[in-house]
Amino acid sequence: MDSLLAGLNDAQRSAVTSPASVLQVLAPPGSGKTKTLTARVAYLVAQGLRPWNIIVCTFTIKAAREMGERIRNHIGDEVEKKLILGTFHSVARRFLVSYGHHINIPKNFGIADTSDSKAIVNRIIKRRGYGADPGKTRSRISTLKAKCISCDAHAATQKSAEQQEFASIYMEYEEILKMSSLLDYDDLLLRCAELLKRRPECVSNIEAVLIDEFQDTNQVQFELMQLLAQHSKTITTVGDPDQSIYGWRSAEIENLNRMRKLYPETHVANLEENYRSSGAILLSAQEVIEQDESRPAKKLQPTHCSGATPILRRLPSAAAEASWLVTEIQRTKALTGQLYNNDDFAILLRSAHLSRHIESALGKAGIPYRMVGGSRFFDRVEVKIILDYLRVISQPDHNDAVARIVNLPSRRVGNVTVNSLLAEAETKQTTLWTMLLSIAQGNKRPETKLSAQTLKGIEAFVSVILESSRKLSAEEDRPCSLIELVEHILKNISLEDYIRKTYADEFDARWANVAELIAQAADFSATALGSAYSTQELLPIVEGIEQRGASGNEDVLCRFLANVTLASATEMPTSEEGDGTVQQVTISTIHAAKGLEWPVVFIPGAYEGSIPHSRSEDTDEERRLLYVGMTRAQSLLYISYPTKNSQREKTSLSTFLSPTSMIKYFAVRGPSFNFTTSQDLARILRRTCPTEMAMHEGCLLVERVEDDRWPLDGEEEEPERSFIDFSNPSSDAFPYNFQSKRRKID
Ligand code: ATP
Ligand code: MG
């Protein structure tokens, strides 16, 4: 127990050991909320709660994994494995796998990811000749679902022709999902809530529910929390209203108050000190968040020295910005005597598309990087083909997956045919697979004439799927494993030839992705079959309600696919993380960087229209987003913007970094002055104001600029740089010395 509480400050310790059954921790970034939540889980176990009766919800899969690791350190491997720990979506899925039959959810239900849902909506819109944007229509549906408004309830209240048209699209969308035995991300939560309402016995054993990043929960998630804890009424949430950045996905900051109203006994705990960032970084972040005057005044309290002043940099173009950024990474590594490696750098973006120049600059410089929230491994063509085959084998009713692969590789079943069959299936409320099967079995179809070639193609496709399913099924003498199944598919569809022909120049890289997928499937099968994980997938047996059995390889396949699909739900990487042997710079959206931290953080593209984003209606949320980005940094923070955007239009610096209030935090009058041991230095800095500077090991870099104004107009050239060495800096001066894992500077 002592070791559990060691390393916590008083406020954290009293939150961890709080006797309150409902506890809400409200605290700013880097104050140890996640650390406290983790320790509380371990504390509850030490108090005698059984781990398999504890539910812990995190926002991303990566966060769940990291939390699992931290908890393991406290309570050991075996105990940690028994916790019901994951994202809301994955926890909900586990309940549906175990108990879904009580509300008529089929055993092998599939999960429709965002692109599947968009494709379905797109087809409905096209069929109806409805002039709306499929992406927006899908989000509109998702918003309603996040607010627990069903299609029937919605339809009943709609008056105008447009509203009714939309309501009927929503309804058709729901019918198609049902026909295809698919649940979309919102359904996982909604249906789980329905299950827990109808069969509260499912959670009769639950002793505690703990939730991280509570400020970004939406209405269904709030309801789920309530339902999961309906017997125990033991809840811990941690959150920070200043970091609420998912309003666009229907997150409701109001949930913080709602919780206190619903449970008047809620004990609220505050943590104050920041253990993550240097003082200078906190001051600059504070200055940004304080622009929101409606927010209650709260100060970030640093525990570390002030460190290096954050740098604000203006570059003539996005390409120049990218190459500056790469040079800065190399320079920081060199100047700090390799104190930092690639893993220590993160480049956080408002929008994923901003990564183009940065990726190419990193590529040219030979710096390895991992992308978070961008084009993902599982979205790559060759990987997606295999996954789609697996999806169809596991879940032949998945219309979109069937439509994507029926002609991949080419079987002479043209797009027109596929689309018309798909439309027919959806309007007749059957599935594409049922129709293809019937065609392959020789049933005549008066509706569409199919050429002999097309018929042959369809037969070939159907036979690949049937044969693979048979291999997997328990009726076989020896059902094949997941790996054997993947290999069987590869051979059967001659994927290697297809990739060689279609992507001749990129064959090696693409084939390597296929190998990577096989390796992942092997890994998954090993953990899924070999360890307690398989029991963990199903929930512990609870008296009074029957649990659905799971067995064999089909189940492994189903879980593997769910794992892959849920990984995309929160824009977090899975495979790209690599095996940990190669150190990589991280490129991530700010959204996906929530809760994480890096020694050095870059936020490029900080111009008006990018952040705040021109399409965003919520300026306060955009500001919080910048705040979340800035507070990811531990030691060094760089913010930059190009004076021209990718359309070559002139840009201006983000209003959040407006000159009058910000300059002192990014230039020379910041707290970093404290570290100046030389009077001269102070004089020089004052004279060269405005100046961009960075403190590095043993020397201070001053970038002198001629122009006195800020932001600097018309400056396209690299400003003159001069290095000032100064001997014997006080150890406090350096930003890195607070990191125990890092080498100290004497
Ligand atoms: P965010 O709001 O960004 O999610 P958080 O409040 O969850 O932040 P944590 O991620 O838990 O903060 O902690 C931030 C960092 O501070 C971590 O590296 C953590 O290990 C460290 N930390 C937290 N509390 C302490 C402490 N009492 N002593 C030393 N380090 C601490
Ligand atoms: Mg956290």
Instruction: Encode pLDDT of 123-154 as tens digits.
Output: 999 888 888 888 889 999 999 998 889 999 99
More confident residue, 668 or 73: 73
Q: Which ligand is nearest to the CA of 240?
A: 1
Ligand 1 atom, smallest distance to 28 CA: 2
Q: Which residues fall within 8 angstroms of residue 343, CB to CB, at 6 or more apart?
A: 583, 584, 585, 586
pLDDT surpasses 50 at 190: yes
Q: Which pLDDT score, from 0 to 100, does residue 337 have?
A: 62
Helix/strand/coil (H, E, C) string of 24-43? EEECCCCCCHHHHHHHHHHH
Pocket test for ligand 1, best of 276, 278, 598 (most atoms within 8 A of CB): 276
Q: Which pLDDT score, from 0 to 100, does residue 347 have?
A: 97
Structure tokens, 563: 């794992």
pLDDT surpasses 70 at 636: yes
Task: Establish whether the linkage from the previous residue to 29 is cis, with ω within 30° of 0.
Answer: no
What is the Cα–Cα distance from 206 to 452, expressed in whole angstroms?
A: 59
Tell me which of 191-195, 241-245, 696-700 is least confident. Answer: 696-700
Q: Which ligand is nearest to the CA of 628?
A: 1
Q: Which pLDDT score, from 0 to 100, does residue 461 have?
A: 96
Among protein residues, the one whose CA lies closest to atom 13 of ligand 1: 32
pLDDT surpasses 70 at 23: yes
In which order are the strands placed within the sheet that holds 699-704? 692-696, 699-704, 720-725
Q: Which ligand is nearest to the CA of 624?
A: 1
Q: How far is the CA of 539 from the centre of ligand 1 (A)?
A: 31
Mean pLDDT for all residues in the chain = 81
Q: What is the largest CA-CA distance in the chain?
A: 93
pLDDT surpasses 70 at 632: yes
Q: How far is the CA of 207 from the centre of ligand 1 (A)?
A: 26
> 26: which strand partners?
239, 270
Q: How far is the CA of 3 from the centre of ligand 2 (A)?
A: 21
Q: How far is the CA of 34 from the centre of ligand 2 (A)?
A: 4
Name which of 28, 15, 56 is nearest 244 in CA terms. Answer: 28
Q: Which pLDDT score, from 0 to 100, does residue 142 have?
A: 92
More confident residue, 271 or 4: 271
Q: Which ligand is nearest to the CA of 598?
A: 1
Considering 229-233, 327-331, 377-381, 533-537, the range whose residues carry the highest mean pLDDT is 229-233
Q: How far is the CA of 76 from the centre of ligand 2 (A)?
A: 22
Q: How far is the CA of 630 from the centre of ligand 2 (A)?
A: 14
pLDDT surpasses 70 at 680: no
Q: Which pLDDT score, from 0 to 100, does residue 242 have?
A: 94
Among protein residues, the one whose CA lies closest to atom 23 of ligand 1: 32
Q: How far is CA 215 from the centre of its chain?
A: 16
Confidence of residue 571 (pLDDT cuts 50, 70, 90): very low
Structure tokens, 702: 């001053």
pLDDT surpasses 80 at 445: no
Confidence of residue 623 (pLDDT cuts 50, 70, 90): very high
What is the Cα–Cα distance from 459 to 464, expressed in whole angstroms?
A: 9
Q: Which pLDDT score, from 0 to 100, does residue 17 have?
A: 96
What is the Cα–Cα distance from 431 to 707, expressed in whole angstroms?
A: 68
Ligand 1, CB cutoff 6 Å, lining residues: 7-9, 12, 27, 29-35, 240, 243, 275-276, 595, 597
Q: Which pLDDT score, from 0 to 100, does residue 628 have?
A: 97
For range 358-371, the mean pLDDT: 89
Q: How far is the CA of 36 from the centre of ligand 2 (A)?
A: 9
Considering 157-166, 678-687, 707-716, the range whose residues carry the highest mean pLDDT is 157-166
| Residue 728 DSSP one-character state | S
Q: How far is the CA of 277 from the centre of ligand 1 (A)?
A: 10
> 587: which strand partners?
347, 371
> 25: which strand partners?
238, 269
What is the Cα–Cα distance from 623 to 590, expressed in whole angstroms?
A: 12
Q: Which residues fall within 8 angstroms of residue 422, CB to CB, at 6 or more apart?
A: 123, 399, 403, 432
232: number of CA atoms within 13 Å, CB side?
A: 23
What is the Cα–Cα distance from 347 to 593, expressed in whole angstroms?
A: 10
Q: How far is the CA of 11 from the centre of ligand 1 (A)?
A: 13
Ligand 1 atom, smallest distance to 595 CA: 4
What is the Cα–Cα distance from 1 to 283, expressed in whole angstroms?
A: 36
Among protein residues, the one whose CA lies closest to atom 14 of ligand 1: 30
- The pLDDT tens digits of the residues spanning 511-564 come to 888 888 888 788 777 765 543 333 345 677 777 888 876 556 667 888 888 888
Residue 725 is inside which H or E element, if any?
Answer: strand 720-725
Q: How far is the CA of 99 from the centre of ligand 2 (A)?
A: 31
Among residues of the chain, what percentage have pLDDT more than 70?
Answer: 82
Pocket test for ligand 1, best of 12, 14, 31, 35 (most atoms within 8 A of CB): 35
Q: Which pLDDT score, from 0 to 100, does residue 243 have?
A: 94
pLDDT surpasses 70 at 355: yes
**What is the residue-wise DSSP string for 662-673?**
HHHHHSTTSGGG
What is the Cα–Cα distance from 580 to 558, expressed in whole angstroms?
A: 27
Name which of 65, 30, 631 is nearest 272 in CA terms. Answer: 30
Structure tokens, 11: 């406020």
Q: Which pLDDT score, from 0 to 100, does residue 298 have?
A: 83
Give SS3 for 477. coil
> 55: which strand partners?
84, 209
Name which of 609, 742, 595 is nearest 215 in CA terms. Answer: 595
Q: How far is the CA of 41 from the centre of ligand 2 (A)?
A: 15
Q: How far is CA 22 from CA 25, 402, 570, 687, in A?
A: 10, 47, 27, 56
What is the Cα–Cα distance from 713 to 264, expressed in whole angstroms?
A: 55
For range 394-414, the mean pLDDT: 92
Confidence of residue 99 (pLDDT cuts 50, 70, 90): very high
Ligand 1 atom, smallest distance to 243 CA: 2
Among protein residues, the one whose CA lies closest to atom 30 of ligand 1: 275
Ligand 1 atom, smallest distance to 37 CA: 11
Among residues of the chain, what percentage have pLDDT more than 90?
Answer: 43
Q: Which pLDDT score, from 0 to 100, does residue 616 have?
A: 87
Residue that is written with structure tokens 């094949």 in the block? 480
Among protein residues, the one whose CA lies closest to atom 16 of ligand 1: 275
Confidence of residue 372 (pLDDT cuts 50, 70, 90): confident
ipTM over 0.95: yes
**180 within 8 A of 397, measured Cβ to Cβ:** yes
Q: How far is CA 203 from CA 210, 536, 545, in A?
A: 14, 15, 10
Q: Which amino acid is at 197?
A: K
Helices (H), 428-506: 432-440, 452-472, 482-492, 495-502
Ligand 1 atom, smallest distance to 275 CA: 16
Q: Which ligand is nearest to the CA of 597?
A: 1
Ligand 1 atom, smallest distance to 213 CA: 4
pLDDT surpasses 60 at 158: yes
pLDDT surpasses 70 at 371: yes
Residue 527: φ, ψ to 5°: -70, -40
More confident residue, 516 or 584: 584
For range 233-240, the mean pLDDT: 96
Environment class of 13 (CB within 10 Å of its CB; exposed 0-12, middle 13-18, buried 19+)? middle
Give SS3 for 181. coil
Strand ranges (DSSP E) for 261-358? 267-270, 273-274, 301-302, 311-315, 345-349
Q: Which amino acid is at 266?
A: T
What is the Cα–Cα distance from 454 to 440, expressed in whole angstroms?
A: 10
Confidence of residue 233 (pLDDT cuts 50, 70, 90): very high
Ligand 1 atom, smallest distance to 12 CA: 27
Long-range contacts, stretch 156-162, CB < 8 angstroms, 24+ apart: none
Q: Which ligand is nearest to the CA of 245?
A: 1
What is the Cα–Cα distance from 480 to 474, expressed in whole angstroms?
A: 9
